[in-house]
Structure 1
Amino acid sequence: MDATVKPLRIPPEMAVYAEKHEIFDLIQTLMRNLIVDKPRDPIQYLIGLLKRENIEVPRVMLLGPPASGKRTLAKKLCECIGAIHVTASDILKDDTDLTRAAQKYREENQEVPQDLWIKLIQQRLWRSDCVRRGWVLEAIPKNRGEALCLQEAGISPEHVVILQAPDNVLIERSLGKRIDPVTGDVYHVTFIWPDSPEVTQRLEKPQGPMTKDHIAQKLRAYHKQACGLQTTYHSRLRVIDADQPHVDVFAQARDYVLTRSRSDAPHTPRIVLLGPPGCGKSLQARLLAHKYSVVDVCCGELLKAVAADDSSMGELIKPFLESGRQVPDLMVRQILTERLSRLDCTTRGWVLHGFPRNVDQAAELQEAGFGPSRVFFLEMSDDVGIARLALRSVDPATGERYHLLLNPAPNEEVQARLWYDPQDSEEELHKRMKDYWDQVAGLQTFYPQAVRVNADQDPHTVFECLESRLVGRLPKVLPDSP
C-alpha cells in the first residue's frame, strides 16, 4: 500500500483478514461495553476485556407465565450454549451484606426493595462465571420498571425469549407439576415424566397453594406486566408458543439465541452462488448486484471476455473455449484473481457464480485470498432444471429469450427463427448435472456454514431467502462444554 498514490488503494487481503477475524465487530463491542460500564480506567478495562476468552458471551432473558416451561428450557439452553443459569433463588444464595439485607425483608414477608434487588442482580452477573460464560436470566425482570432499572444499571440482554400459552393449558400444567428436590428439575404427570424410578419416588408437589383460582390469579398478575416487558425489549424479542412439544420449543429458542445481532461494522459482500444447471444462479446474481451494487462476476462470461481481447492470456484460453474443453484451473485462477482484485470488487464487493466447481478450485480461491463471506447452494431436482433449460431459446434477430412453456414465442414467424443452444440438449444437461452432483458433497463439506436454498420456487422468493441471510451475521458457533 503506497500512501503517496491517490486514491489510496487498500489491498483486498486486509479487508478479508479483518472480516475473517471480526476485527471491526471486536472494536464495536469494545466501544459499546466501554460506554455502558463507564470504567474509571478505560485502558485497563479494555485490556481486561481483550484478555477474556470470549467477549460476545450469551446474555439471555427467558420470560413467560407460570408453568410455561421456563425452568426446563433455561437448563437445556445453558447446557447447549455453555451459559450460567441464574434464577431469583440463586441470586439470594450468596452470603453477602446485600443478600443478608434482602433475606430480612423476605423473613418479614416483605417485598425486597427494587434498588436492592437490582444491586443483587448486578452482584450475581458480575461474578467471574457469568462474565466469562454469559448468563440466562429466568423470570427476571418481572415488570417494565424492573427492566428499565436493569438497563440503567448496564444489564442489557442480547436476546429475550418470551413463552406464551393459553391459560387453560397453563392451569393444567400447574396442577400436574412435580419437582425433583435434589436437582430442581421440573416434571409433569402427563407431559414430562422421569425415566428413572428413583427420581419418580422423590418427586414433590410445588410448595404453596395450587388451586385453579390461585393459579388463575397468578396468570392475571403476569398478563398485566407482559405488555410492558414486550414493549421494553421489542427490538430483541422472540415470542415462542409453549403449547407444543418441549423439543420444538427448545429448537426455536436455541436457533434464536445463536443468531447474532446486526452489526454496524464495515462489511464487503463476497458471495458465491453454487447449484446445478438451471437453478437460477445468473438471475439471482443480477438481482443481488442491482440491489446491493456488488459486482456480478460470472466465470464463464469472464473467460469469454478475456478470450475476445488481444492479451496474451486471451490467446492462451481461446483454443480451449473454441474446442469446448475446460480451461486449466491455473489460468482460471489467474484471471479471477486479477478481476476480483480490481477497485470495484474490493470496494463494493462481488457475487461469483460458475466457480468453484470442485473442492480443489474452492481451496485455490481461498488460498488466493478471496474466501467468500457467504456461500449459497441453490438446490432443485434434475427434472426441473432440464425443463427450464432444454425448452429455452433465443431470437437471433432481437436477442429476446423465450421458453416453450413459460414464455412462448408470440407468433409462428418468431418461432421459426428461434435458436436453441446445443449445450441445452437433454443429453448434455444430464452430463453437466452429473458433474455437479459428483462434486457437491465435497463443496458442502468445504463450506460448512453455507446456506441451502430451495430454488424450485418463484425467483423473487429465492432472492428474499438469499437476502435474509446476506444482511444478517452468521450464527454463533456453539462453545465447547465447560
Structure 2
Amino acid sequence: MDATKKPLRISPELGVYAEKHGVFQMLQRMLQCLLVDRPQDPIQYMIDHFKKENDEVPRVFLLGPPVSGKLSIAKLLCDQINTNLLTLDNMLAGGKSESADEIQKLKAKAQDIPNTLWAKLILERLSKTDCIKRGWVLVGFPKTREQAMAIQELGIAPEHVVILDAPDTVLIERNLGKRIDPVTKEIYHTIFNWPTSTKIQNRLEKPPGITEEETVKRLLEYRQVSHGVLNSYSKKYHIINADQPSVDVLSQVLSHVQSRHRSVAPYTPRIILHGPPGSGRSLQAAMIAEKYRIVNVSCGQLLREAVAAETRLGETIKPYVESRQPVPDVMVMKCMAQRLSKLDCSTWGWVMHGFPQDLVQAEMLKDAGFLANRVFFMEVPDDAVIERLSMRMVDPTTGKRSLKARTTRLKDSFYPTVIRLFNGSLLQ
C-alpha cells in the first residue's frame, strides 16, 4: 500500500494473503473475545490471544433427549478429533474448586443447583490449558433456555451444536435394555452394546429410572423445554437422526463438526474460465462480469488494446500480432499483470479467459501473485466445437462474433447452467 497516493491502492497480493490465512476470521474471533472478556489491557490481551493459536479447535455442544446415545457418540467423536470430553459428572469428580464444592454440598442436601453455579463450573473447566489447546465436547448441557442464557452471559459459545434425536418409541425401547457396570460406570445395552467379557456381564445392573413410565416422564420433560435450547442456538444447531447404526451417526456428527460456518469475510471473485475454442468462454465471461459487476479480462483483447495504444509493450507485441504468431509468454504475462494490478480488478474482482493456456502460463500467473479462487473447465464435445467454429460470423466493423442462426438458442441453453453454478459457489 502506498500511503502517499490517493486513493490508497492496496496490492492484489494483500487480498490473496488475507484469504489464504484467514486474517478476517482471525480478527473477527479476536474481537468477539475482546467484547466478551473486556480485559483491562486490550493490547496485551490480543497478543496473548494470537499466541494461543486456538481459533480452529473444536467447541461442541452434544445434546439430545435421554437414551439418544449422546455419551457414546461423544466418546467416539473425541477419539476421532483428539479433544476433551466434558460432562457435568466428570467436571464435578475432577474439579477442585469453590463451585464444585458448593454443588456437592447442595447435592448432599438434595437442594436445587442454580444455573449460574453450573455455568461457573463449566467456565472454570473450559479455562484450563487442555481445553484451550485441544478444544472440548460438552455433553448434555444446557438442557433449558435458562441454562443456555446462563452460560452465554459468561461468554461460553460453541462453534457447533449437535442434537441427536429419535422417535419416542425407539428411545423407550432403548432405555429398557440399558445396563450399567457398577465398577467402571460404563453403560451397556442388551442389544446394541453387550460386553464380550463374561465377568462384566455377570456384574451388570439395571440403572434406576429405566421403566417405561419413568422414561416417558423424562422424555415429556425434555420435549417441553427443548425448543428453548433450539431458539438459543437457532443458527448453529444441527439435528441428526439417532435411530441408525452408531457408525453412521458418528460419521454425520463428525462431518458436521469438521465443517466451517459460512464466512462473512470480504470476498473478491477471481475467476478463470478454461475450455477449448468455441466453448463459449468469452460469452459466459461477459455475462458473469455484467451480473456480478466484476472486470472482464480477455487475454486477446488486452493484447490488441496494447498494440492499438502504441505503448512500449504494444510495439514489442505488434510484430507477433500482425504475423499471427504466438506472443511470448513473458510479454503476455506482463500485459496481464498490468491489467490485474489496476484498482478496479483489486476492488471488484475479475473473470479471466484466454489465459493461462498451459501449465507454464499457469505457473507464471501463480508466481506473479494472481491466484484464482474459482476455476471452471467448460467441456464441449469436439463435434459441437467444430460446428460452432464453422458457423461463426464476425462483424468487420465492431469485431463482434456470433453464430449464424444459433446465437439466441446457445445463449438460452448456456446461460442458466453457468449462472446456476456461480450462484452456488461464486458468492460462498
TM-score, length basis structure 2? 0.82
Alignment of 1:90-101 (within 5 A): 90-93=90-93, 94-101=95-102
1:258 to 1:332, Cα distance in 2 relative to 1, 3 A: farther
What residue in structure 2 maps to residue 407 of structure 1?
409
Query: In structure 1, what is the Cα distance between the partners aligned to 2:256 and 2:425?
Result: 18
Query: In structure 2, what is the Cα distance between the partners aligned to 1:175 and 1:293?
Result: 62
What residue in structure 2 maps to residue 106 of structure 1?
107
What residue in structure 1 maps to residue 145 of structure 2?
144
Query: In structure 2, what is the Cα distance between the partners aligned to 1:295 and 1:75?
Result: 51
Asked if the contact 2:54–2:132 (Cα under 8 Å) also holds between the matched residues in 1, the reply is no
Secondary structure of the residue aligned to 1:240 is strand
Query: In structure 2, what is the Cα distance between the partners aligned to 1:288 and 1:327?
Result: 27
AA of the residue aligned to 1:333: M
Secondary structure of the residue aligned to 2:374 is strand
What residue in structure 2 maps to residue 120 of structure 1?
121
Query: In structure 2, what is the Cα distance between the partners aligned to 1:199 and 1:13?
Result: 65
What residue in structure 2 maps to residue 260 of structure 1?
260
Asked if the contact 1:276–1:385 (Cα under 8 Å) also holds between the matched residues in 2, the reply is no
AA of the residue aligned to 1:375: R
1:376 to 1:191, Cα distance in 2 relative to 1, 3 A: farther
CA-CA distance at 1:190 after TM superposition? 4.3
What residue in structure 1 maps to residue 374 of structure 2?
375
CA-CA distance at 1:359 after TM superposition? 4.6
Secondary structure of the residue aligned to 2:352 is strand
Secondary structure of the residue aligned to 1:407 is helix
Secondary structure of the residue aligned to 1:62 is strand
1:230 to 1:350, Cα distance in 2 relative to 1, 3 A: same
Secondary structure of the residue aligned to 1:271 is strand
Whether 1:233 aligns to 2:205 is no
What residue in structure 1 maps to residue 334 of structure 2?
334
The farther-off stretch of 21-30 and 113-122 is 21-30
What residue in structure 1 maps to residue 423 of structure 2?
464
Query: In structure 2, what is the Cα distance between the partners aligned to 1:341 and 1:199?
Result: 74
Query: In structure 2, what is the Cα distance between the partners aligned to 1:245 and 1:318?
Result: 69
The share of aligned pairs that are identical, in percent, is 45
Query: In structure 2, what is the Cα distance between the partners aligned to 1:184 and 1:355?
Result: 65
Query: In structure 2, what is the Cα distance between the partners aligned to 1:313 and 1:215?
Result: 81
Post-superposition CA distance 1:231-272 (Å, at most 9, x none): 111122222223344344333333332333344444433334
CA-CA distance at 1:367 after TM superposition? 1.9
Query: In structure 1, what is the Cα distance between the partners aligned to 2:194 and 2:301?
Result: 62
Query: In structure 1, what is the Cα distance between the partners aligned to 2:301 and 2:178?
Result: 65
Asked if the contact 2:178–2:207 (Cα under 8 Å) also holds between the matched residues in 1, the reply is no
Post-superposition CA distance 1:315-347 (Å, at most 9, x none): 555666677765443233222211110111112
The farther-off stretch of 225-234 and 209-218 is 209-218
AA of the residue aligned to 1:25: Q
Asked if the contact 2:393–2:401 (Cα under 8 Å) also holds between the matched residues in 1, the reply is yes
1:41 to 1:403, Cα distance in 2 relative to 1, 3 A: same
AA of the residue aligned to 1:59: R
Q: Which protein has the larger Cα radius of gyration, Structure 1 or Structure 2?
A: 2
1:169 to 1:202, Cα distance in 2 relative to 1, 3 A: same
Query: In structure 2, what is the Cα distance between the partners aligned to 1:213 and 1:323?
Result: 91
Query: In structure 1, what is the Cα distance between the partners aligned to 2:423 and 2:151?
Result: 37
Alignment of 1:280-429 (within 5 A): 285-286=285-286, 288-306=288-306, 310-314=310-314, 316-317=316-317, 327-372=327-372, 374-378=373-377, 385-386=381-382, 389-392=385-388, 393-394=391-392, 396=394, 400-401=402-403, 407=409
Asked if the contact 1:391–1:405 (Cα under 8 Å) also holds between the matched residues in 2, the reply is no
CA-CA distance at 1:19 after TM superposition? 3.5
1:342 to 1:122, Cα distance in 2 relative to 1, 3 A: same
AA of the residue aligned to 2:32: R
What residue in structure 1 maps to residue 22 of structure 2?
22
What residue in structure 2 maps to residue 32 of structure 1?
32
Query: In structure 1, what is the Cα distance between the partners aligned to 2:184 and 2:287?
Result: 54
Query: In structure 2, what is the Cα distance between the partners aligned to 1:189 and 1:294?
Result: 62
Query: In structure 1, what is the Cα distance between the partners aligned to 2:121 and 2:70?
Result: 21
Post-superposition CA distance 1:124-154 (Å, at most 9, x none): 1111111222222111100111111111111
1:408 to 1:140, Cα distance in 2 relative to 1, 3 A: closer
Asked if the contact 1:299–1:353 (Cα under 8 Å) also holds between the matched residues in 2, the reply is yes
Whether 1:45 aligns to 2:77 is no
Asked if the contact 2:59–2:136 (Cα under 8 Å) also holds between the matched residues in 1, the reply is yes
CA-CA distance at 1:160 after TM superposition? 1.4
Query: In structure 2, what is the Cα distance between the partners aligned to 1:81 and 1:282?
Result: 46
1:404 to 1:248, Cα distance in 2 relative to 1, 3 A: farther
What residue in structure 2 maps to residue 175 of structure 1?
176
Post-superposition CA distance 1:378-405 (Å, at most 9, x none): 586xxx6446534434455795546879
The alignment of Structure 1 onto Structure 2 pairs a total of residues equal to 419
Secondary structure of the residue aligned to 1:458 is helix
1:403 to 1:78, Cα distance in 2 relative to 1, 3 A: farther
CA-CA distance at 1:279 after TM superposition? 7.2
Q: Which runs of 5+ in 1 are unaligned?
A: 410-454, 472-482
Asked if the contact 1:333–1:365 (Cα under 8 Å) also holds between the matched residues in 2, the reply is yes
AA of the residue aligned to 2:121: L
CA-CA distance at 1:176 after TM superposition? 3.8
Asked if the contact 1:49–1:55 (Cα under 8 Å) also holds between the matched residues in 2, the reply is no
Query: In structure 1, what is the Cα distance between the partners aligned to 2:58 and 2:163?
Result: 16
CA-CA distance at 1:90 after TM superposition? 1.8
